[in-house]
Amino acid sequence: MPSLDSLIGDLSTVGDRDFERTVLGSDVATEIAGVIYDFVARRLAPVENAIFYRTSVGLVAGLRIVDGRDVVVKVHRWQVSIARLTAVQLVQAHLAASGLPVPRPLCEPEPLGSGIAIIEEFRRGGAADGHDPLIRQSLAAGLLRFVKAAQPLGSIEDLGWPVLLRPPGSPLWPEPHDIRFDFQATREGAEWIDDLGRRARRRLQSAAPGAPVIGHVDWRVGNVGFEDRRITAIYDWDSVAMAPEPFVVGAAAAQFCADWVRCGALASVGEMRSFVTEYEETRGTPFGESERDVIDATNLIYCAYLARCQHSDVRLGVGPGRSASNGWIELLRRREVESPIA
């Protein structure tokens, strides 16, 4: 296995190190690796070698420590606090004990640089194609299983609400989840996207979606590991939040095909509808009319937010979304014509 600093160095060909500079105060591979190694040695055991390294919304490193365990370190920057990550770990531990393929937390959240770091088990899982109907069905059933398994925990205030479920009077969009996005500097040409976002937000604020549940609001193939179309690992735990069940489903319907590492085509509007239908079939109870409106409005606001992120990439000429020829902008245009999805 390679060293962590060599994996960090390999990433220099695909982008700079804005996250590391912002959160850890360095863009030097050996210094970044040293900060992570010191944290793991202090909390668990010295690191033997590295398995993988990625940065996006957060920094994630897969490591093997000297006692033979494979672990994952994640350094969070966006939309987190010690209290929130502690609540997330409570959900993780409960779901792991319930038999879901969940990585168990291995240490409490701790400040690291200007972020917050955690360590958890490394659960392996393979990639999958969200356009495969059997994978889509597995994702729909897996999301329902997640929601149902978390129900005994009731309401956990510190989990918070999804950032796109905005309170009245707040700005249309939250702080973008990735530091490369600049909504203020890329307003020109995004007016139609913002209009659709406002329309979706008005619908959500006027709806009566029901009691909140604990759900995963970034439920997609890129955050789930598979083996033979069976879910073997669930990742991206900072996306766990309190939200009405129709909101959780609408968010998943927008994103379930997305994999930012491998890219590929996003879900079609028809595939989004199929995801909702398959969730309902597994649930055994169809959603009511008002719940369907929440699903559709949530789906629209997620598509609009992610199109707004792509628009920023296009205007700034950065990131994987810098071409407007496909992706969320195109999907949002189709979504305007072919809605609703529920």
Domain ranges of the chain: 4-121, 133-338
| Burial (CB count <10 Å: 0-12, 13-18, 19+), residue 79 | middle
pLDDT at residue 21, as a whole number: 92
Beta bridge partners, 72, equal 62, 120
Cα distances from 120 to residues 69, 102, 146, 290, 323, in angstroms, run 11, 10, 19, 39, 36
What's the pTM?
0.94
The Cα–Cα gap between 180 and 311 comes to 12
pLDDT at residue 13, as a whole number: 45
pLDDT at residue 293, as a whole number: 95
Please state the CATH superfamily assignment of the domain spanning residues 133-338 in this structure.
Answer: Aminoglycoside phosphotransferase (APH), C-terminal lobe (3.90.1200.10)
pLDDT digit string (tens) for 246-305? 999 999 999 999 997 776 789 999 999 999 999 999 999 999 999 999 999 999 999 999
**Regions of the chain with pLDDT less than 50:** 13-14
Contact in structure between 123 and 236 (CB atoms under 8 Å): no
pLDDT at residue 14, as a whole number: 44
CATH topology of domain 4-121: Phosphorylase Kinase; domain 1 (3.30.200)
Residues 6+ apart with CB under 8 A from 22: 77, 114, 179
